[in-house]
Amino acid sequence: MTEIPEHLLKRSRDRRAALGLGGDDAGNGGDDAAAKPAADKPATTAGSAPAPAASTAPAGRAAAPAPAAPPPPKPDTPVVAAYKQRRRVPFWAMAALGVLPVWAFLYARALTEQPEEVAGPIGIGAEVYASCQSCHPGGNEGVGYAFAGGEVLETFPHIEDQIRYVYFGTEQYNIAGVEIYGNPDREGGPHITGARNVMPGFGGELTDEEILSVVCHERFTLGGADPSGDYAEEYETWCSEEAPVFADLEAGGALADLDQRVEGVMPIGNEPIPGSPPSE
């Protein structure tokens, strides 16, 4: 440190006194005050960096603590583990299972004997007979007489008489004054017109072909007529698929004048007539 000459110090004190800044005491105090900071000020060595100034910025928020690690998953139960390891059903197998019921139905149908489909007048008559079920259920006795067990053959030994009665019905027979519409010699007594409710007439409601067909169904399917025995000739003439009467009606012929076109049949006519006894 360089020592300041005394004359320079005195000049400084005088100058301060002239300016009203204090005399010697002030000067001494000033020198001491000036010297004290200098003395108190820590010396810095060459090459040392000054201490950084204290920051006046607000303190930052402390970082949140890291979340705790999740607990390890619980091990699967034996049942769940077995389910996860089970082999999955392939998608094509689901489609195959979907059509399995259809395949089973077709297989069962193939093994089941199908009912024989009957063509010709007897097949047509089975469908037409639906309108007769309410009075003759299944060919049995109901509101009307029974056909089953040969009953219809007892009443009508000739198919022409039955066709005529189905065509005209009870009302027309009553108007014509015909009392017995079937076999007058019927065992147990003949059937009297109107004695057992009313038989509707189907002429005009059904075609002549349908009337023949339903009568064939009543005689051979429900009544038990044997197409290869006593009623073979009737069957071949009226009720088989190749029957000439059926072919005539299919071609547009009428029942009323059928006897004029087909040999060996009894006249049916345009009005009711009494029934016929069995042929000798």
What pLDDT digit, counting tens, does each position of 109-153 carry?
A: 666 655 555 678 999 999 999 989 888 998 888 888 999 999 999
Contact 183, 155 (CB under 8 A): yes
The pair of three-digit structure tokens given for residue 174, joined into one six-digit string? 């009553």
Indicate whether 233 and 133 sit together in one domain: yes
pLDDT at 92: 64
pLDDT at 67: 77
Is 197 inside a domain boundary? Answer: yes
Indicate whether 26 and 131 sit together in one domain: no
Is 131 inside a domain boundary? Answer: yes
Indicate whether 138 and 29 sit together in one domain: no
Residues of the chain with pLDDT under 50: 25-27, 29-47
Q: At what angle do helices 208-216 and 120-128 cross, to 10 degrees?
A: 90
For residues 49, 51, 56 and 62, what is the CA-based torsion angle, rounded to 10 degrees? Answer: 90
Name the residue range of residue 23's domain. 6-34
Indicate whether 10 and 130 sit together in one domain: no
Closest CA to 221 of 135, 116, 114: 116
pLDDT at 203: 95
Is 102 inside a domain boundary? Answer: no
Residues 154-158: contacts with CB within 8 Å, 24+ apart?
154/183, 154/186, 154/187, 155/182, 155/183, 155/186, 155/191, 156/182, 156/183, 156/219, 156/275, 157/183, 157/276, 157/277, 157/278, 157/279, 158/266, 158/275, 158/276, 158/278, 158/279
| Cα–Cα distance measured from residue 151 to residue 169, given in angstroms and rounded to the nearest whole number | 19
In terms of phi and psi (left: phi > 0; alpha: psi -120 to 50; beta: otherwise), the region of 130 is alpha
Indicate whether 20 and 143 sit together in one domain: no
3-class DSSP state of 105: helix
Is 21 inside a domain boundary? Answer: yes
Is 96 inside a domain boundary? Answer: no
pLDDT at 164: 97
Is 268 inside a domain boundary? Answer: no
Indicate whether 132 and 25 sit together in one domain: no
Is 127 inside a domain boundary? Answer: yes
Identify the bridge partners of residue 206 per DSSP, sorted by sequence position. Answer: 203
Is 191 inside a domain boundary? Answer: yes
Question: What share of the chain in percent tops pLDDT 90?
Answer: 49
The CATH number covering residue 211 comes to: 1.10.760.10
Q: How many domains does the chain have?
A: 2
DSSP 130: G
Indicate whether 28 and 130 sit together in one domain: no
Indicate whether 144 and 13 sit together in one domain: no
Report the residue count for the chain.
280
pLDDT at 9: 75
